[in-house]
């Protein structure tokens, strides 16, 4: 069953932290968020609680009585000491490792020894962030996906010292928030992001005179059967976030036995231009080009997904479920491989290894493997 969680703290109450907080408050939890000063505390409450909920009331999505109940469960503070009542504290600050490490040092001094401390980081290793926390068995990762109030997936990330009690409590907490939780072991980017980040890096690396952004978006739709392509998703989530995540993942994994794509110059240039990808341009009808781009994309997805299973980062079942939930892909990578045939899947994995995108997964090193047990 795990430790019962009733009151949660949130460090950083901007887009992601506020969405996590609203989701929790709507599910009946008391929420105490911390911001840098009292002015920000009030500004964040006005923007992300009062105004956001008022819009829902205006649209008929909730009643005024419901709004008052949810808003009444949320309070803010500028002092770590006010987080003492919390059973769980979720760090949702900006992606700066030194800042996050300091936050957990401060939380360790201010919270009860049994308070569960988690990070919502997208790429940093949880164990490294928690290195200075006493009672490290009460620490873990709790990775929400944007937008956190709509996207139902949560990765519950265990590092080597996370206790069963902590893990069970977080799985129960996620369920009470209406989330679909998957179990993930600590790994750079965890389970879903290594697949998604490498996918857009491979696509972005093909951008050029013969392959525009609209064509690449179309390729991802063809390959994955999605309604909204990967380039469209990048525009929505922000190219700055995409670029920095790409740099981080490459630094973590490029020189390991997993490997990772090089950071595309095209992504850096587009991010620095301040403009989104132009996905309204004319799509190429060059069948050879489309086929080659589709094969590169799928080969990279199959390679990194295989590595994640081999490294015991996540189960096949949870990776399939996580990708379909978080990314809205109709089929997970193992179902895609099984349906196209393992001989063809192996050919695409060999292509991605030959072009230096990833190292060879053990599963494909000895030839054509059996179908995956999905």
* Residues designated catalytic: 143
Any idea which residue has 């990048």 for tokens?
234
Beta-bridge partners for 88: 8, 116
335 φ, ψ to 5°?
A: -65, -40
**DSSP 3-state assignment of 281?**
coil
Distance CA 37, CA 189 (A): 31
What are the φ/ψ torsions at residue 217 (nearest 5 degrees)?
-60, -40
Compute how many other C-beta atoms are within 10 angstroms of the C-beta atom of residue 291: 12
C-alpha distances (whole Å) from 4 to each of 95, 155, 161 are 29, 19, 20
Q: What is the dihedral of CA 85, 89, 95, 100, to 10 degrees?
A: 70
What lies within 8 Å, CB to CB, of 324 at 6+ separation is: 330, 331, 332
Q: HSE on the CB side for 216, CA within 13 Å? A: 27
The answer to whether the CB of 176 falls within 8 A of the CB of 170 is no
Distance of CA 147 to the CA centre of its chain: 10
CA dihedral sign of residues 162, 163, 164, 170: negative
User: 83: which residues sit within 8 A by CB, 6+ positions away?
Assistant: 9, 32, 34, 77, 89, 107, 110, 111, 115
Label each residue of 95-152 as H, E or C: CCHHHHHHHHHHHHHHCCCCCEEEECCCCCCHHHHCCCCCCHHHEEEEEECCCCCCCC
Q: Assess contact for 232 and 217: CB atoms under 8 A.
A: yes
Tokens of 248: 């981080």
Report how far apart, in Å, the C-alpha atoms of 276 and of each of 220, 230, 317 are: 17, 13, 34
């Amino acid at each position: 069953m795990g430790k019962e969680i009733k009151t949660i703290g949130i460090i950083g109450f901007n887009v992601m932290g506020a969405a996590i907080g609203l989701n929790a408050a709507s599910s009946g939890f008391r929420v105490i968020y911390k911001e840098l000063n009292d002015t920000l505390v009030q500004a964040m409450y006005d923007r992300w609680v009062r105004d956001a909920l008022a819009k829902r009331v205006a649209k008929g999505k909730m009643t005024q009585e419901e709004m008052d109940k949810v808003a009444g469960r949320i309070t803010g503070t500028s002092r770590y000491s006010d987080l003492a009542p919390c059973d769980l504290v979720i760090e949702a600050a900006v992606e700066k490792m030194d800042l996050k490490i300091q936050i957990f040092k401060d939380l360790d001094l201010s919270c009860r020894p049994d308070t569960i401390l988690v990070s919502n980081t997208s790429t940093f290793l949880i164990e490294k962030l928690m290195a200075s926390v006493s009672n490290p068995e009460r620490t873990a990762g709790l990775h929400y996906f944007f937008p956190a109030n709509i996207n139902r997936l949560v990765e519950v990330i265990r590092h080597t010292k996370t206790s069963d009690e902590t893990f069970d409590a977080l799985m129960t907490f996620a369920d009470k928030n209406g989330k679909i939780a998957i179990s993930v072991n600590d790994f750079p980017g965890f389970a879903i992001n290594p697949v998604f980040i490498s996918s857009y890096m491979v696509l972005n690396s093909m951008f050029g005179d013969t392959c525009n952004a609209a064509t690449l978006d179309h390729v991802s739709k063809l390959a994955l059967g999605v309604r909204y392509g990967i380039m469209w998703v990048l525009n929505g989530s922000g190219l700055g976030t995409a670029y920095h995540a790409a740099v981080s993942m490459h630094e973590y994994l490029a020189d390991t036995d997993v490997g990772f794509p090089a950071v595309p110059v095209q992504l850096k240039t587009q991010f620095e231009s301040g403009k989104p990808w132009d996905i309204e341009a004319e799509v190429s009808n060059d069948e050879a080009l489309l086929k080659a781009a589709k094969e590169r994309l799928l080969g990279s997805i199959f390679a990194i997904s295989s590595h994640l299973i081999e490294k015991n980062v996540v189960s096949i079942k949870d990776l399939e479920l996580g990708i379909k939930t978080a990314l809205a892909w109709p089929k997970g990578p193992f179902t895609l491989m099984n349906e196209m045939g393992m001989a063809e899947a192996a050919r695409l994995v060999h292509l991605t290894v030959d072009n230096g995108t990833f190292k060879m997964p053990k599963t494909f090193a000895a030839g054509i493997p059996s179908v995956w047990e999905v």
